[in-house]
Amino acid sequence: NKQVLLKNYVTGFPKESDMEIVEGSITLKVPEGSSDVVLLKNLYLSCDPYMRLLMYKDTPVSLGFHYSPGSPLTAFGVSKVVESGDPNYKKDDLVWGVTKWEEYSLVPSAQILFKIDHTDVPLSYYTGILGMPGMTAYGGFFELGCPKKGEKVFVSAASGAVGQLVGQFAKLTGCYVVGSAGSQEKVDILKNKLGFDEAFNYKEESNLDAALKRYFPEGIDIYFENVGGKTLDAVLLNMRSHGRILVCGMISQYNLSQAEGVTNMAYLIYKEIKMQGFIVSQFYPLYPKFLEFILPHIREGKIAYVEDIVEGLESGPAALVGLFSGQNFGKKVLAIAPQ
């Protein structure tokens, strides 16, 4: 049972050598009499920015699980049930939820979030558009953002797992949407495949305030925040009165021992802006409603989804490290046992 272990707690930018690949030796059997444990064969494993936060000795987030040196990385994944002590699951059920970066995982059945009933779409989608990032974009944008037709929306890390969906949800609502991303290739995809009205490469802009003024001469109604730091500071100067900032992530800050100062917070007052952070788990009860909304859009080709799939657990450490320099192009997924 191959596994990716955390080797040591991490400070600064993560390195591939902070993780190691080993042949683990879990007993591939549900313990006799346990009614709340399942044995999973992991098919696709998700590679997400929050995983870095769990590599701190004192992680600032509480997600119900943490990392410790010598243990496999806990992560979202799509799995097949091999054996179940829990009567709610049976052999060969397809599920998605919280598993581990290994080939087989013995996990509490409570970590399974949902059974997978729809298999006419790629199974890997349940790590992305039909999984945690999809719920993040849906809940954050629709439930908290309350978007209205005609509003002006800005999305950072726009080509990532979450951002590409927020942009498309904004277009479906009739908003004007602009995304920022870290390469010309990503900008082209945003405009030509994902339907953003405009997009720009933030690495090429010496003055982010000027860039935002170019795309939002009347200001921004909704900012979907994925990066933090300098981008947030420039956005604050460009919000419209009563605008909303949905704080989903701040990836530019995750590896810094001292967070970058944001200097324009007073604009929250001047423009009466509502700024709200959130964690996706609050939206899980909406999953059935979300599927009803999104599956027809996927099937009819009205929503596109860009994935960046790499093979095997061996690709895991580089994939995770690469998120912090924009190496991924869309949702990063490890294919472990593709179906």
Helix H or strand E encompassing 89: none
DSSP reduced 3-state for 61 = coil
Which neighbouring-strand residues pair with 45?
77, 334
Mark residue 308 as left, alpha or beta (left: phi above 0; alpha: psi -120 to 50; beta: remaining).
beta
Should residue 162 be labelled a site residue for ligand NDP when binding is judged by CB under 6 A?
A: yes
Residue in the shown chain whose Cβ atom is closest to ligand NDP: 249
CA–CA dist 290, 125 (Å, integer)? 14
Among 9, 50, 56, 293, binds ligand NDP (CB under 6 A): 50
The CA–CA distances, whole Å, from 86 to 32, 90, 286, 327 equal: 12, 8, 24, 40
Of 212-241, binders to ligand NDP (CB under 6 A) are 226-227
Q: Which of 98, 99, 155, 161 minimizes the C-alpha distance to 125?
A: 161
Should residue 315 be labelled a site residue for ligand NDP when binding is judged by CB under 6 A?
A: no
Among 97, 133, 134, 147, binds ligand NDP (CB under 6 A): 133
**Binding segment toward ligand NDP, per CB under 6 A, in 45-53, 142-150, 170-178, 188-196:** 45-53
Q: Rank residues 219 and 326 by Cβ distance to ligand NDP and give the closer one.
A: 326
CA–CA dist 140, 246 (Å, integer)? 7
With beta carbons less than 8 A apart as the criterion, state whether 224 and 173 touch. no
CA–CA dist 76, 91 (Å, integer)? 20
Among 144, 251, 273, 320, binds ligand NDP (CB under 6 A): 251
Q: Rank residues 82 and 145 by Cβ distance to ligand NDP and give the closer one.
A: 145
Q: Rank residues 106 and 199 by Cβ distance to ligand NDP and give the closer one.
A: 199
Q: How far is the CB of 333 from ligand NDP (least distance, A)?
A: 10
Among 38, 177, 181, 199, binds ligand NDP (CB under 6 A): 181
Instruction: Give residues in contact with ligand NDP (CB under 6 A).
Output: 48-50, 133, 136, 157, 159-163, 181-183, 186, 226-227, 248-252, 278-280, 323-324, 326, 328, 331-332
